[in-house]
Amino acid sequence: MRLRSRTADERGHASMLLLVGLALALLAVTLLFMRLGQAHGLRTESQNAADAAALAAAGQAADEAARDIANYVIPYSSLHDPATARTRAEEYARDNGAVLEDIRASDDNTGNTGNIVRVEVRSAQCQRELEEHGDRHWNDTVCDGTEDEEDEPLHTGNADAIAEVVIPDCSYIVSDGEDVSIIGIRCDGETVQSYTHARRLIEVELTDEEGQYIYKPLSWTEDG
């Protein structure tokens, strides 16, 4: 009887240890999937931020094109303003939990228009590798600007996006008579009535490719 009792106790302890081991294994797997999900979330958030920043930056060129059209000028050059576009991209990246890393404009018009804008962003959050001594919480996502000072690997969501300003097909409306003058602009069959009307006719959309030429406005020189 004693032998059977001891054997039963041993089996009970073994079962308990097995359950504990399974629980720990399940916990480890759960934490792993949570960290993988967090890393995926960082990438997704960064892509959303990149899309928003690119559209905002390209929107500056669209606004400039609309102003030209409203002033009876068909847009053909110097639509991209680097300072304003960067400010917009930084704002929209920040509002979407990211930091703007780079921005550049291009076009298919020998670099004169700048109607295509590409941005690169990184997530404002990060994911550090876990340490054996357990000093850092597994869900630590703080990026305080000192990441490069540490030797521990760091995972940050990075993404890029490209947005293009699509300008409608426009033509001048000229007056009749001896003194020919420009009296308006017609775009896609519509006579433009105002800046708001012109802006509505201009599309800003995400695209997969940059332009053939890096943006260099007509006023650009090798000296700056």
Provide Rg for the chain, Cα atoms: 29
- Between 103 and 10, the more confident residue is 103
Q: What value does the mean pLDDT of the chain take? A: 79
For 35-44, the pLDDT digits (tens) are 545 555 567 8
Q: What is the pTM of this model?
A: 0.71
* Residues 59, 84 contacting (CB under 8 angstroms): no
Question: Burial letters for 42-56: b for 16+ Cβ neighbours within 10 Å, e otherwise?
Answer: beebbbbbbbbbbbb
Does pLDDT of 168 surpass 60? yes
What are 105's two structure tokens?
């404009």
Q: Give the model's confidence band at 3: pLDDT under 50 very low, under 70 low, under 90 confident, else very high.
A: very low
- Interatomic CA distance for residues 140 and 26, integer angstroms: 21
- Which pLDDT score, from 0 to 100, does residue 44 have? 82
> pLDDT category, 29, cuts 50, 70, 90?
low
Q: Using CA atoms, how far apart are residues 111 and 108, in angstroms rounded to an integer?
A: 7
- Rounded to 5, what percent of the chain is helix, strand, coil? 40, 25, 35
Residue 154, pLDDT above cutoff 80? no
Taking only the tens place, the pLDDT of each residue in 111-141 is 999 999 999 998 877 656 545 444 545 455 5
Nearest to 120 by CA among 83, 165, 80, 157: 157
CB atoms within 10 A of CB 61: 30
Other beta carbons within 10 angstroms of residue 125's beta carbon come to 19
